[in-house]
Structure 1
Amino acid sequence: MRQPKVGIVGVTCRFESGGQRAEELVNGVKQALTAQGVETVCAGKTAWDTADAIDVCKQLKKEELDALVIVEVTWIMDSMQYVFINELNLPTVFWAVPYTETFSIGCVQHFGSILKGQGLEYDYVYGLPDDVNIAKKVKAAAQAGQMIKAVRGMRLALVGPRQTWRVAGPQDMSVEEWEFSRKFGVTLVHVEMSDITEAAEAISDEEAEKTLKCLSERTGKVKADHDTMLYMAKVYTATKEIAERYSLDAMAAECYPMFSGLMNLTSSWLADEGMIVDTEGDIGHTMVMYMLNMAAQGGACALGEVGSMDDVNNILALAHEGSTAHSLAESLDKVQISQSGERGTFVGVPLKPMESVTISSIAGSGGKYKLLVDTADVVQASHEEWVEGGEKLLVKLHVGTKASAVVDQLMEKGMDHHLLVKEGNYTEVMSAVCKFMGIEKVTLF
């Protein structure tokens, strides 16, 4: 993922004091953001009036920006700021400066109240460009803008059977799909499971053997029989063909219970290639995994659900059927591929210890959604604990308070049973995503 791209414009008014600082402040903001690895585009002029604002908008519209920083050099008219908001329609951060005579922060508060009244979100910072923490906050907002843009252009396949029926709405889609698409901008693409299985059956054993030989170099201990593994290689190839045919960014496959085990190993293999294939038709969490992978600039997420609680050690044991990326194990020899039914498999992974992880979950409908954004850590799971847990996914999630209290909070706040675990702390950027997309942010601790 490229670095986020931010437009910077200084705004002021000839009737206010302090306008002479505009160029110096804008240059300082540019240097501060560049030092954080943010690509910047400065307006060709300081905006002293609405005509200047329109000229700047014409320039910045050509730049494919992810966010906008408006440096409030002095108090300015609402009508000029409105031009930037309405014409550019970007996540916007107002940078207020600490000069009393300029009323800069007061201007942000005033215009911010107008935006809130219109149902529009924004962020602000206060201080001078040499404050590194301010620049980091702006970077997080810019990354959020980049992620929002990517999600709004995302194609996410729902793979699985849905018969043509309705009550009083869409025929082969659900109202919920329309609501989700309108809120997040994700385009949902319907693909039948038969599209994958038929493509898999068309692949020769010879071709599948070659694919399996290549994949075996990054595959853990195999307990499934060879015929099953050969079929898994065919499903893997067929899934990649379908993804290419439909230009997909991610897939949510309805494999459970009718197709249990069909997509698990393919999901694990593809996760380590940067392609998300969820194995329970979970569209919302597939989108959030896409966001988290963007925030981390790669890697894979683990998806699980609470299997047990340990209040003595503050541990939530998360488990799942088994489709987690091989790379999330401590080593390849700790990954196990087991038989699931006649032709399926599941991937056993005790998640490696991680000093800091972002935990997330999404729930909602009707255009109103909430997102869990919090942190924890993952501790070592013993071989015996993994075996006792069913030799599937096991995540020993160490939380900041009693494990049962965390589950109480999840239930009280109406969060879904699926929990995502992503190595690293991405709470700042995910919080910014919540702000700019109008999602309720949920925390636990």
Structure 2
Amino acid sequence: MTPRIGLIGIAGPLEVGFSETPSILQRMKNQLETIAPVITNLDILYDLHTVQNAVEFFANHDFDLLCVGVGTWSEDHHLLDFLEYYNRPVVLWALPAVETGSLCGVQQICCVLKELEKPYFFVYGEPEDVKVHQKIREIGMAVTLRNHLRHSRIGVIGGRVKGMTEIAYDELEIKARTGVRIVNLDEDELIESVKNTDQLTASKLWTAIGEKVGKITVHNQAGIEALSYYLGLKKLIDEYGLEGICIKCYPRYMGKICLAYSLLAEEGIVGGCEGDVNNTVTMKILFNLTGKPVHNTDFLYPDPISQTILFSHCGSGGFSIANDPSQIQLSPVRLLNQGVCALFPARVGVVTLVNLVGRRGTFRMSALTGEAIECGMEFPGNPLKVRFQRSLEDLNEEIASQGIGHHWMAGYGDVRKELEYFCSLNKIQYYSM
């Protein structure tokens, strides 16, 4: 998820500050190298010849994000000519100065790129400005995420849960907006793959997992069956090159795939419940941005006294997001009292909660951030209690008025800005709370 930044400059030979632009570009390079690899020949565009030189250099040096240091006001068509060869998202970096015209030059270019519907971002400050570096890093993460998801595949088995119309998904819109390709699999493929797993291997794995958890309250046969599903899913994931799997678990596979999801999460494979494809894509996005397993949750109970909201689901989280490994308990799934789930209170820390719903024309992402605090087993799953700084009553009203839905994926860390830039790049409606 580390972007490669291509760096060029642009300036006008008649403008005040033209002669200083090379040193400014060098300072930009020195600073950007603290956040990402920088690809540059320190080219400054100001005529056809300089554009051609830059084009020739980058022919052998690929990059993800183009950073343009605008030393002075300049003719905008030189950048347009360059972008015809390397049509990458652009960061336009304006510099504080009275006479150079850097800022108004950037404003001019922003207008042109807006009209041409080319993705661009704006930053303003000296080359050593830490806030500028942070913003460019966040933009670079969003660009890299977009590039990665174009090659990602998520498998879907069994459609969506009956009666949960909210999670109906638009497969083409998911591909168009996020880049993720949905791979539709038959339930028969899952059943056959599970049936053909080696029971001895599943049994040995069950014994090994039992040594990593605090308590087991299911029979060994239930554990071996759960691990047969894990091994069966692994075969399908390998066969189809999947980075995520979404299964209509309710009610047929409740307790059968939960432990598989917990184990797959530690291998970088996201697992979505109830056939919610949109939010399985969300889990993939959050995993890429945070590098950690992601909580799959329902919005359960706001407590105005503690200013917290309890989120949870049945118990399919990766073991590494348990607050205390000794608290992990392998138990039957709630409601049906069958199979195996990994039950534990969630780890503490800042979390970003994200929901993705809609179809063509309404496809939208919502995000909110809070502080996960310690909690007990307040729900038989992976309870995540999050404290917010705003009115929970107002938050509930917003969720309802925006038609956001009830599934929230939670990743550790504050990645709202990366999500905002990602949505901007992909023309997804973004709602930050």
Residues in 2 aligned to 1:52 and 1:324: alpha-carbon distance in whole angstroms: 54
Which segments of structure 1 move beyond 6 Å, counting only runs of 4 or more? none
CA contact (8 A) 1:97 1:105 kept: yes
Deviations 1:302-344, CA, capped at 9 Å, x for gaps: 1211112211221111121221122222212222222245863
Which range moves more in the overlay, 357-366 or 212-221?
Answer: 212-221
CA contact (8 A) 1:373 1:431 kept: no
How do 1:154-193 and structure 2 match up within 5 A? 154-160=152-158, 176-193=170-187
> Is 1:278 equivalent to 2:267 in the alignment?
no
Residues in 2 aligned to 1:219 and 1:281: alpha-carbon distance in whole angstroms: 28
Match in the other structure for 1:409: 398
> Is 1:396 equivalent to 2:391 in the alignment?
no
CA contact (8 A) 1:263 1:279 kept: no
CA contact (8 A) 2:259 2:341 kept: yes
Match in the other structure for 2:305: 312
Deviations 1:255-311, CA, capped at 9 Å, x for gaps: 223322221110111112221111222222222222222222x21111211112211
Which range moves more in the overlay, 284-293 or 336-345?
Answer: 336-345
> Is 1:255 equivalent to 2:249 in the alignment?
yes
CA contact (8 A) 1:17 1:101 kept: yes
How do 1:229-378 and structure 2 match up within 5 A? 229-296=223-290, 298-340=291-333, 341=336, 344-354=339-349, 356-366=350-360, 368-378=362-372
CA contact (8 A) 2:9 2:42 kept: no
1:223 Cα deviation after fit: 1.5
Query: Which 5+ residue runs of structure 1 have no aligned equivalent?
Result: 163-173
Deviations 1:193-220, CA, capped at 9 Å, x for gaps: 3222211111232121122233333345
Residues in 1 aligned to 2:56 and 2:179: alpha-carbon distance in whole angstroms: 25
> Is 1:7 equivalent to 2:2 in the alignment?
no
Query: Which 5+ residue runs of structure 2 have no aligned equivalent?
Result: 161-167
Which range moves more in the overlay, 299-308 or 41-50?
Answer: 41-50
Residues 1:431 and 1:225: Cα distance change in structure 2 (over 3 Å) = same
Match in the other structure for 2:201: 207
SS in 2 for 1:30: helix
1:105 Cα deviation after fit: 1.0
> Is 1:87 equivalent to 2:85 in the alignment?
yes
Residues in 2 aligned to 1:295 and 1:260: alpha-carbon distance in whole angstroms: 29
Identity level (%): 22
Residues 1:221 and 1:434: Cα distance change in structure 2 (over 3 Å) = same
CA contact (8 A) 1:318 1:395 kept: yes
Match in the other structure for 1:217: 211
Match in the other structure for 2:430: 441
Residues in 1 aligned to 2:208 and 2:264: alpha-carbon distance in whole angstroms: 13
AA aligned to 1:281 is G
Residues 1:293 and 1:442: Cα distance change in structure 2 (over 3 Å) = same
Deviations 1:368-412, CA, capped at 9 Å, x for gaps: 4322233101122134xx2xx3x2221111112232321111111
Match in the other structure for 1:42: 40
1:85 Cα deviation after fit: 3.4
Residues in 1 aligned to 2:342 and 2:65: alpha-carbon distance in whole angstroms: 40
AA aligned to 1:348 is L
CA contact (8 A) 1:28 1:129 kept: yes
CA contact (8 A) 2:159 2:247 kept: no
1:109 Cα deviation after fit: 1.1
Residues 1:143 and 1:161: Cα distance change in structure 2 (over 3 Å) = closer
Residues in 1 aligned to 2:204 and 2:138: alpha-carbon distance in whole angstroms: 44
Question: How many residues get paired?
Answer: 424
Match in the other structure for 2:164: none
Report the TM-score when normalising by structure 2. 0.92
1:144 Cα deviation after fit: 1.1
Which range moves more in the overlay, 431-440 or 337-346?
Answer: 337-346
SS in 2 for 1:309: strand
SS in 2 for 1:414: coil
